[in-house]
Amino acid sequence: MDYATLLQLLDTTLRLATPLLFACLAGLYSERAGIFDIGLEGKMLMAAMASASVAFLTGSVWVGLLAGMLASLLMAGLHGIASITFRGNQLISGVALNFVASGITVLIAQRLFGQGGRTPPLAGEARFSSITLPFAEELQGVPVLGPLYYEVISGHPLLVYVALATVPLTWWVLYRTRFGLRLRAVGENPAAVDTAGISVVGLRFAAVAITGILCGLAGAYMATALQAGFGREMTAGRGYIALAALIFAKWRPVAALWACLLFGFFQALALRPDVVEAVVQVKVPVPFLDALPYVLTVLVLAGFVGKAIPPRAGGEPYVKER
Amino acid sequence: MASVGADARYAIELKGISKAFGPVQANKDIHIAVPKGTIHGIIGENGAGKSTLMSILYGFYRADSGEIFINGKPTAIPDSQSAIRAGIGMVFQHFKLVQNFTVLENVVLGAEEGALLAGSLSKARRVLTDLSREYELDVDPDAVIEDLSVGHQQRVEILKALYRQADILILDEPTGVLTPAEADHLFRILKGLRDQGKTVILITHKLREIMETTDNVSVMRRGTMVGTVKTSESSPEELAELMVGRKVLLEVEKAPATPGAVVLKVDDLRVRDEHGVERLKGVSFEIRAGEILGIAGVAGNGQSELLEALGGIAAATGRITLNGAELPLSGAGADGRSRRKAGIAHVPEDRQALGLIMDFAAWENVAFGYHDAPEYQKNALFMDNDALRADTERKMATFDVRPPIPTLAAKNFSGGNQQKIVVAREIERNPDLLLIGQPTRGVDIGAIEFIHKQIVALRDQGKAILLVSVELDEIRSLSDRVAVMFDGRIMGLRDPETTDERELGLLMAGIAEGSKGEAA
């Protein structure tokens, strides 16, 4: 494999890792607060449909992005009401919302556009275009690093850089702010938060709302940046891969970045079976590459790569004792 | 408008507090006045309403009626935040700590200075240093909670309250998980707090602690306040009588043991938990017929594993023989049913998890483990439920279970009556060996007396008894020999007549005979 092919692969990796990263960090906020969210997939799908539809109808990708975040927030709110207010089973609520999203997105898109559940292709202002970072052209001539900067780092839609910036931001919020301390505490021992006079319900809803916003960004990126429009089931299990990445990263933000980049790299490889064959000298079936993230996650869960301890109060509705 | 009779000499004054849960009146017209700068004890049996009263004070429940005065001012406490603002700090029986946070983070949680943590943490570090110097509350502020002993975790809870500038500290059953030395240290801390003008409320069922520590004590019985007395003018006997409403025998009456042949012989018994960590590290002992061997120790030092291995619940290695016959320790034949057939009855430590099925009726619970007994069978196919119910009724009469209704679900009995059902089931089968864990945990004083008498009576019939309890008083008054466990090993065997609490306490803390001279 030559350097140019490698750069191409890395470029694709970054593009494909972005929705994973948004969704993974979304799950991180929710699960750190003790609310398991298997419904990342459904939220992304809703956001993808809403953002593509609104972007097409208004001609503005920004209005589309806003609509995507609102749609995802709505789903997050439903999950919150089911699992926080009514103390329902978080897995069942998440699965149910995924089913709802899977059906209703196609229904709405079909109703609006009558194109078999797709939105019409987006173009121009209705889509995020790529940004060229400063000096990308000028530095292209610098050996090794120049092409790396030009090909891989530069030339992505804005949301890619937002996703990358969300990683240190999340780290800072989690470990350096009052909100972060309380968020981590409520996922470990809500009784400690409650007896300290802080509202468990309020904190958890705040966390679930952040999850909604980040999933909205993930879905909007899928439909208005990575691709040009919404299509049936277009998220293709990325919500689940993001959950796998979250476990792989042991619920830590910086590790989440590396996990998503790794899983994004696998997805990029799956698009280039010819490169894989050239490197390992054996024809590797694409489904095998697709399955790699899950295989790795199972290995992590089995304890081969250190121990993954989920937040202790995760999945348990909080009921006051005494 | 301040009510008549509000008095600023009192840190807390409750007037006419009532609280009902459905038909159950948990608190009935409670009046109590706690003078500032004193340690005030509240005792009462389980279900007497102590915890409900304290939950009202800490804003977990709202009283149906009545008034709360803090420092003479009428105060509404609708939630925990208001309680904290009113200067009330609470140390719960089950600590409310975040296990993977540092001490500092736990102290700061909910009492942060601003949106960013750095300032709060450095301020808390300064305050903690001062507090620990002032009150013997040394804890490393950067230690992670799960690495600390329970005694230290409790200090963190106290520090949390003090950091929130609590003037009134409420402790709910604080010594249940402590060694005697840790408990003594705690009481020194509490006395130090009192001498600095703080008010301490100590909720406990241990009369000895009340007598040693408190200035005044209030006694509750069945939701009402029976009375408040000066501790120095009272006696344990008087307090016990106030709690139960009748005279109670605090000391167990028993004749000297007349041990017979060896019933159980245990050799190098070892148990590993599910993570492969050895919890029981080679334990050997014998119990003879007509003898009670008491196992003392702080909870979690291998006592549970010992009971489970002997009861056939956990797999073990080593060798056990019952009346000379070896019993399997793992695989076939190492289960509760085979053990019962062999003549080992087991009253488990956690009766609600292992001793009973809480949603099942009392008569069904009486059958468990013995459901294939011939007298419960009608024919080859069907059980004789009428016979079983009649048998349950008879057992309930013998063991004074209240209410004596065989069809009532186990969860509807009080802790003491649940325990009586389990003890009745196991003892009435006439076992050669009785394993009994925490026989009186969560059991009220009246029932404790009864269960203790049953255990001694069984011994006097020539049975062997292994008693595991974290209550040192119980071990000392019932046992004919005492073994102290620490870290999965038996630290030493003692005669309860000649040993004292100090010696047992050192063994419980893992200080072995070799280093005894040094420690003394």
Q: Chain B: which residues have CB within 8 Å of chain A?
A: 51, 55, 58, 60, 79-81, 83-84, 90, 92, 94, 96-101, 105-106, 108-112, 114-118, 120, 160
Chain A interface test: which of B92, B96, B156 (most A C-beta within 10 Å): B96
**Which residue from B58, B80, B98 is facing A188, i.e. has the nearest CB?**
B98
Q: A129 burial class (0-12, 13-18, 19+ CB within 10 angstroms)?
A: exposed
Would you state the pLDDT for residue A246?
A: 94
Would you state the pLDDT for residue B21?
A: 83
- CA angle (B476 as vertex; B474, B478 as ends), nearest 5: 65
Chain B touched by A280 (CB under 8 Å)? no
8 Å CB contact of A178 and B112: yes
> What CATH number is attached to the domain comprising A208?
1.10.3470
pLDDT tens digit at each of 520 positions of chain B: 444 456 778 999 999 999 988 777 889 999 999 999 999 999 987 778 888 899 899 988 889 999 999 999 999 999 899 999 999 999 988 899 999 999 999 999 999 999 999 999 999 999 999 998 888 888 999 999 998 888 899 999 999 999 999 999 999 988 877 878 888 899 999 999 999 999 999 998 788 889 999 999 999 988 899 999 999 999 888 888 888 787 776 777 888 889 999 999 999 999 998 778 899 999 999 999 999 999 998 888 899 999 999 999 999 999 999 999 999 998 888 898 899 999 999 999 988 888 999 999 999 999 988 888 888 999 889 999 999 999 999 999 998 888 889 999 998 887 788 999 999 999 988 899 999 999 988 787 778 888 999 999 999 999 999 999 988 888 998 999 999 999 999 999 999 989 888 888 889 888 865 444 333 3
Q: Structure tokens of A137?
A: 């052209």
Chain B touched by A283 (CB under 8 Å)? no
Asked if pLDDT for residue A298 goes beyond 90, the answer is no
Q: How far is CA B447 from the centre of its chain?
A: 15
8 Å CB contact of B92 and A194: no
Would you state the pLDDT for residue A321?
A: 61
CA-CA distance, B349 to B104, in Å (whole number)? Answer: 35
Chain B interface test: which of A186, A189, A200 (most B C-beta within 10 Å): A189
Amino acid residing at B38: T
Q: How far is CA B431 from the centre of its chain?
A: 27
| pLDDT, averaged across chain A | 92
pLDDT per position as a tens digit, A112-168: 999 999 999 999 999 999 998 888 888 888 888 888 898 899 999 999 999 999 999
Amino acid residing at B79: D
ipTM for the predicted complex: 0.90
Interface size A-B, in CB pairs within 8 Å, comes to: 73
**pTM over the 0.90 mark:** no
Taking CA–CA distances from B161, the nearest residue in chain A reads A196
User: Could you say which residues from 138 to 177 on chain A have a Cβ atom under 8 Å away from some Cβ of chain B?
Assistant: 175-177
CA-CA distance, B182 to B472, in Å (whole number)? Answer: 14
CA-CA distance, A32 to B33, in Å (whole number)? Answer: 44
Give the count of beta carbons closer than 10 Å to the beta carbon of residue A232. Answer: 14
Q: How far is CA A106 from the centre of its chain?
A: 21
Superfamily for the B10-244 domain: P-loop containing nucleotide triphosphate hydrolases (3.40.50.300)
8 Å CB contact of B96 and A192: yes
8 Å CB contact of A176 and B115: no
8 Å CB contact of A178 and B97: no
Q: Does residue A62 lie within any of the structural domains?
A: yes
Q: Does residue A75 lie within any of the structural domains?
A: yes
Contacts of A179 in chain B (CB under 8 A): 115
Q: Does residue A138 lie within any of the structural domains?
A: no
Domain boundaries, chain B: 10-244, 262-519
Q: What is the domain extent for residue A211?
A: 3-125+148-301
Task: Match 């089995």 to its residue by tokens.
Answer: A302
pLDDT per position as a tens digit, A269-292: 888 888 888 888 888 888 888 888
Taking CA–CA distances from A187, the nearest residue in chain B reads B98
Residue B22, phi-psi category: left (phi > 0), alpha (psi -120 to 50), beta (remainder): left
B262-519 is a CATH 3.40.50.720 domain: no
Would you state the pLDDT for residue A305?
A: 65
Three-state SS sequence of B116-178: EHHHHHHHHHHHHHHHHHHHCCCCCCCCEHHHCCHHHHHHHHHHHHHHCCCCEEEEECCCCCC
More confident residue, A82 or B509: A82
Would you state the pLDDT for residue A58?
A: 96
**Which residue from A175, A181, A312 is facing B109, i.e. has the nearest CB?**
A181
Would you state the pLDDT for residue A86?
A: 95
Average pLDDT (A78-101) is 96
Contacts of B106 in chain A (CB under 8 A): 192
pLDDT per position as a tens digit, B286-307: 999 999 999 998 888 899 999 9
Contacts of B117 in chain A (CB under 8 A): 175-178, 180-181
CA-CA distance, A80 to A41, in Å (whole number)? Answer: 16
Total domains in the fold of chain A: 1
**Which residue from A189, A320, A322 is facing B51, i.e. has the nearest CB?**
A322
Would you state the pLDDT for residue B520?
A: 32
Would you state the pLDDT for residue B1?
A: 41
Contacts of A197 in chain B (CB under 8 A): 79-81, 83-84, 110
Q: Does residue A277 lie within any of the structural domains?
A: yes
What distances in angstroms separate CA A265 from CA A41, A128, A163, A293, one per listed residue? 20, 22, 16, 10
- CA angle (A205 as vertex; A201, A211 as ends), nearest 5: 150
CA-CA distance, B494 to A87, in Å (whole number)? Answer: 52
Whether B78 contacts B86, CB under 8 Å: no
The string of DSSP letters for A206-258 reads HHHHHHHHHHHHHHHHIIIIISSS--TTTTTTHHHHHHHHHHHTTT-HHHHHH
Q: Does residue A110 lie within any of the structural domains?
A: yes
What is the helix (H) or strand (E) element at residue B13, kind and residue range? strand B10-21
**Which residue from A177, A192, A312 is facing B117, i.e. has the nearest CB?**
A177
Non-local (6+) Cβ contacts of B160 within 8 A are A196, B89, B106, B107
8 Å CB contact of B97 and A184: no
Which spans in chain A are helix H?
3-32, 40-58, 61-80, 90-113, 145-147, 158-176, 178-188, 190-195, 200-221, 238-248, 253-271, 273-280, 286-301
Would you state the pLDDT for residue B5?
A: 52
8 Å CB contact of A195 and B92: yes
CA-CA distance, B166 to B162, in Å (whole number)? Answer: 5
